[in-house]
């Protein structure tokens, strides 16, 4: 289900690198909403159904530094944005090399070997090319992603028509996503790995929580995984 329009303003433009070449696949988001788009082969994009007023637009692309722009949107004029991203050297290469040796997330590989739940590695996330974090769950069997009027909610289809939101853990700590706002501050590019358990019987004991019956989602960010890699390296003799 597509989100309801927040207004009648539109924003179009282009995303290029420091050399002026278009960045196909760059992600463009209106911060504080679930509205986003992906740049085409010419670097072009268009966001529609936007609220009028001053807003922040976030532009991301792998191997480039994130950039934010302030835009003043009006439904009565054409709103344009020419985004230029700066190169962020060797970020993707470093992650790819280390990932080959196994996940840096504590217990991730061991839990995956149990054969219970669904797991997404960094490579899996990149292949999906999702705009929103909740988009990653649309292709997972047994999950429903629905729009609640403001944000997207992820529920296990085992709950049927009963409202039974899944519980979330962020970097190992229980996270309150009762307002379904996780898309507003986490993007697929931020994530190192995801674990999905659709029933209480699948959830590892340390992540049972009070609402495990509705299922559990564990989200591991790159920042947390990177910190553990550095700590492990520092502890070696």
pLDDT tens figures, 161-191 = 566 778 999 998 888 888 887 887 788 888 9
CATH 2.60.40.4130 is the classification of domain 9-84: yes
pLDDT of residue 5: 66
Measured at the CA of 11, the angle between CA 85 and CA 61, to 5 degrees, comes to 25
pLDDT of residue 166: 87
pLDDT of residue 163: 65
Q: How far is CA 210 from CA 161, 166, 168, 182, 207, in A?
A: 20, 11, 11, 20, 9
pLDDT of residue 89: 41
* Residue 231 clears pLDDT 70, i.e. is over it: no
Read off the pLDDT band of 199 (50, 70, 90).
Answer: confident
pLDDT of residue 179: 80
pLDDT of residue 91: 35
Q: Give me the residue spans of the domains in the chain.
A: 9-84, 91-230
Task: For residue 183, count other CB atoms closer than 10 A to its CB.
Answer: 20
CA dist., res. 187 & res. 164, Å (int)? 24
At residue 126, the 3 state secondary structure works out as helix
Pairing verdict, β 191-197 and 118-120: antiparallel
Percent of the chain residues past pLDDT 90, beyond the cut: 37
Fold exhibited by the domain 91-230: Ferric Hydroxamate Uptake Protein; Chain A, domain 1 (2.170.130)
Domains 9-84 and 91-230 alike in fold: no
Read off the pLDDT band of 160 (50, 70, 90).
Answer: low
pLDDT tens figures, 202-230 = 999 999 877 788 889 999 998 766 654 44
* CA-derived radius of gyration, the chain: 19
Pairing verdict, β 173-175 and 191-197: unpaired
* Residue 95 clears pLDDT 80, i.e. is over it: no
pLDDT of residue 158: 66
């Amino acid at each position: 289900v597509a989100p309801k329009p927040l207004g009648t303003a539109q924003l179009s433009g282009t995303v290029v690198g420091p050399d002026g070449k278009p960045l196909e696949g760059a992600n463009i988001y209106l911060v504080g909403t679930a509205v986003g788009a992906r740049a085409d082969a010419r670097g072009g994009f268009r966001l529609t159904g936007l609220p009028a007023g001053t807003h922040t637009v976030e532009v991301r692309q792998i191997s480039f530094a994130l950039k934010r722009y302030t835009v003043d949107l009006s439904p009565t004029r054409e709103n344009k944005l020419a985004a230029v991203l700066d190169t962020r050297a060797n970020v993707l290469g470093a992650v790819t090399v280390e990932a080959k040796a196994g996940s840096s997330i504590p217990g991730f590989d061991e839990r995956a070997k149990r054969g219970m739940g669904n797991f997404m590695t960094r490579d899996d996330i990149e292949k999906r090319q999702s705009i929103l974090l909740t988009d990653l769950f649309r292709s997972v069997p047994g999950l429903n992603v629905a729009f609640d009027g403001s944000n997207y909610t992820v529920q296990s289809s085992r709950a049927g028509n009963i409202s039974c939101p899944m519980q979330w853990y962020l970097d190992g700590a229980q996270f309150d996503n009762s307002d379904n706002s996780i898309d507003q501050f986490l993007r697929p590019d931020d994530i190192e790995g995801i674990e999905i358990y659709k029933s209480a019987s699948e959830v590892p004991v340390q992540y049972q929580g009070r609402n495990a019956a509705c299922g559990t989602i564990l989200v591991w960010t790159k920042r947390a995984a990177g910190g553990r890699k550095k700590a492990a390296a520092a502890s070696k003799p």
